[in-house]
Amino acid sequence: MSTFPRSYPMSGGDDQHSYINNSSYQIAAINSVREKTRQCIIEKLDLPLNSDLGTFRIADYGCSIGPNTFHVVQSIIDAVKFKQVDAKNEISLMPLEFQVFFNDQPNNDFNTLFRTQPPSSEREYFSAGVPGSFHGQVLPRNTVHIGHTSYTTHWLSDVPENVDDKNSPAWNKNYIQCNHSIEEVTKSYKAQFTKDMKRFLEARAEEIVPGGLMIVLGQCLPDGVPLFKTDQGILVDTIGDCLMDMAKSGLTSEEKIGLFTIPAYFPQFSELKREIEKNRSFTIETMESVRHPLEDIPLSNQFLISMFRAILSTIIKEHFGEDVIDELFDRVAKKLAKYPIDFKECEKNVTYFLLLKRK
């Protein structure tokens, strides 16, 4: 969600470690499941695609400012148009009109989103911005025929209860994330994730028409793997260590650090599936891990530092002030130069593809 920038610089694999931004990282993932998405729409969409339907409505939840959302929307439209063709008689039915709702938090830059969308002469849809958290209902009942979201559902609607309370057993002392190393902290984060996923699915059940689809592309953990065993988990814990070093140097305070926590939770694959199965309004048509096309690019410490600087800069600035960013990530770079991450020993996160069908 746009409160936390969707930015994943990726190493180009050469000696200079060239980087591509999160847009490229996510569009690579989206493109890798493009054919899967197309087949799912063709096989699973259970709606009459004729003039009786009127306008076909698509919603992208957590759209940010593009361009990923435009690629997603167009691929969905292309699949629906293909399905609309009468394969037996090779006759196209009356063309549908398409309406797209771009949803994100109210502080998303919708002006940039609409300035960068394809020009009307090339756009096959009417567009509208919908500000609001997707953890609640943002559109009227039975509005959407296909919903989509990518790399968003691990973000929580709020900081979990008691993780910043020194008097609570769930106090996340010395950590700025849920890395699964403290049982009570993990329980608190999981409770918030369970609540948020329930609200997310209930809201989509209101908005999506019977027979409509919800497509989710996201990231979770393999079963039995805690976050602190992944390279991403290690990197964020290192950021936390460097913040504590800065407090000792008087550049920030331990009190501020104690009140700072990243509101994100990566469930394990089976844990995520159980939460989805609790909702009785959808059937799980497909849920599987998929291989990200950039997965085999060699990682480096500098790659991870650049990646998480892009992801976390906004939330760090909001809490500690803009002046800490350069100093913080300089310290992270020095620490990892001295104690580099052993990528061969680290566990990897799972990219998953999920297709839900509204009952």
What would the pLDDT profile of 240-257 be if each residue is shown by its tens digit? 999 999 999 999 999 899
Contact present, 302 and 333 (Cβ < 8 Å): yes
Kindly state whether residue 250 falls inside one of the protein's structural domains: yes
Q: Output the six-digit token pair for 103.
A: 């949803």
Model confidence at 315: pLDDT above 80? yes
Kindly state whether residue 7 falls inside one of the protein's structural domains: no
Contact present, 167 and 174 (Cβ < 8 Å): no
Model confidence at 2: pLDDT above 70? no
Percent pLDDT > 70 in the chain is 90
- The pTM of the full predicted model, rounded to 2 decimals, is 0.89
d(CA 66, CA 89): 38
Number of DSSP helices (H) and strands (E) in the chain, helices first = 10, 11
Kindly state whether residue 195 falls inside one of the protein's structural domains: yes
- How does pLDDT run across 7-43, given as a tens digit for each residue? 322 222 222 233 344 456 667 777 788 899 999 999 9
- The total number of structural domains that make up the chain: 1
Kindly state whether residue 12 falls inside one of the protein's structural domains: no
Give the other-Cβ count within 10 Å of 337's Cβ. Answer: 10
Kindly state whether residue 9 falls inside one of the protein's structural domains: no
- The three-state (H, E, C) secondary structure of 47-109, written as one string: CCCCCCCCEEEEEEECCCCCCHHHHHHHHHHHHHHHHHEECCCCEECCCCEEEEEEEECCCCC
Query: Would strands 10-11 and 19-20 be described as parallel, antiparallel, or unpaired?
Result: antiparallel
Model confidence at 74: pLDDT above 50? yes
Kindly state whether residue 6 falls inside one of the protein's structural domains: no
**What residues contact residue 127 under an 8 Å CB cut-off, 6+ apart?**
99, 100, 101, 102, 114, 117
Mean pLDDT, rounded, of the chain: 87
What's the whole-number mean pLDDT along residues 262-276? Answer: 96
Range of the domain at 299: 19-358
Kindly state whether residue 3 falls inside one of the protein's structural domains: no
Q: Among 217, 215, 208, 216, which residue's Cα sits nearest to residue 358?
A: 208
76 pLDDT tier (thresholds 50, 70, 90): very high
What's the whole-number mean pLDDT along residues 38-51? Answer: 89
What's the whole-number mean pLDDT along residues 154-167? Answer: 91
* Cα 147 off chain centre by: 14
**CATH at residue 324:** 3.40.50.150
* Model pLDDT, residue 355: 98
Kindly state whether residue 77 falls inside one of the protein's structural domains: yes
89 pLDDT tier (thresholds 50, 70, 90): low
d(CA 357, CA 359): 6
